[in-house]
Amino acid sequence: MGKVDLIYENAPAPMEDSRALHAVGYGLYIVTTRENGKDSGLVVNTVSQVASNPTVLAVGINRANYSCGVISRTKKLNVNVLTESAPFSLFQRFGFQSGKDRDKMQGLVYGRSENNLPVLREHTNAFFSLKVKDSITLPSHTLFLCTVEESASFNRDKSMTYAYYHASVKPKATPAKAKGWVCKICGYVHSEENLPDDFICPICKHPKSDFEKL
Ligand code: FE
């Protein structure tokens, strides 16, 4: 595992338009992990096939997440592909609490793949068991480059996209009397006039750029 490459630190981006990123298409996935007999998982939008023969999937995990350390240590993860039927409660379960101090799997019915990691069979249409072959440590995320050890397609239901999540799954913000900033990802409200540049959402770990002024 490499240390943070200094070329990424404080990289100025004077020409960066944050709206441009909204033009990029993303899916939504639950990455599941297991370490010392404990199953856990988290929601990510950062899964892509980046090479073939052999197939390589890149998975970016925020380093503030418990699962990032688990994957670094165990070199294993499962990617569960969410469908449009996935309810907001599933995003709350996997995205808005930490596996560090919570059992995110409690009350959930799930199976296991050959690598003994959880496989979610509800609100998913496929899964992959991945083996970490390499990783790149970035200031916010670790990018894991992985080969496929096992995969299956369960049905032809439509995959959940980030755009669909924002349009049809995330509850609409209630008309706010509150002042401050709201996280566009999870709805967390920071009730202060100022939002520091290095602010990280305490619920979903997204940065200041994902907040908007109320
Ligand atoms: Fe948030």
- Measured in Å, residue 211 CA sits from the centre of ligand 1 at 8
Q: For position 158, what pLDDT does the model report?
A: 98
> How many Å lie between the centroid of ligand 1 and the Cα of residue 133?
30
* CA atoms of 171 and 192, how far apart (whole Å): 23
The whole-number pLDDT of residue 200 equals: 92
pTM: 0.82
Query: Rounded distance, CA 195 to CA 191, Å?
Result: 9
16-20, 50-54, 94-98: which range is least confident on average? 16-20
Q: What is the pLDDT of residue 50?
A: 97
Nearest to 24 by CA among 48, 55, 5, 52: 48
For 103-126, how does the pLDDT look when each residue is reduced to its tens digit (9 = 90+)? Answer: 999 999 999 999 999 999 999 999
**Residues whose CB falls within 8 Å of the CB of residue 170, separated by 6 or more in sequence, listed in order:** 88, 91, 187
Ligand 1 center to residue 89 CA distance, Å? 15
Task: Quote the percentage of the chain above a pLDDT of 70.
Answer: 91
What does the chain come to in residues? 214
Q: What tokens appear for 144 in the block?
A: 């894991």
How far is ligand 1, taken at its centre, from the CA of residue 51, in Å? 31
CA–CA gap between residue 77 and residue 71 (Å, rounded): 6
The 3-state secondary structure of 30-94, one letter per residue: EEEEEECCEEEEEEECCEEEEECCCCEEEEEEECCCHHHHHHHHHCEEEEEEEECCCCHHHHHHH
Q: How far is the CA of 95 from the centre of ligand 1 (A)?
A: 9
Residues 6+ apart with CB under 8 A from 213: 180, 181
C-alpha of residue 214 to centroid of ligand 1, in Å:
14
Tell me, in angstroms, the distance from the centre of ligand 1 to residue 141's CA. 16
How remote is the CA of residue 35 from the centroid of ligand 1, in Å? 26
The helix or strand, by DSSP H or E, that contains position 128, with its residue range, turns out to be: strand 124-137
Q: Is the per-residue pLDDT at 42 higher than 90?
A: yes
What does the longest C-alpha to C-alpha distance in the chain come to?
55
Q: Quick one: pLDDT band at residue 3, thresholds 50, 70, 90?
A: low
Yes or no: say if 73 and 124 are a contact pair by the CB < 8 Å rule: no
Which residues place a Cβ less than 5 A from the ion ligand 1? 183, 185-186, 188, 201, 203-204, 206
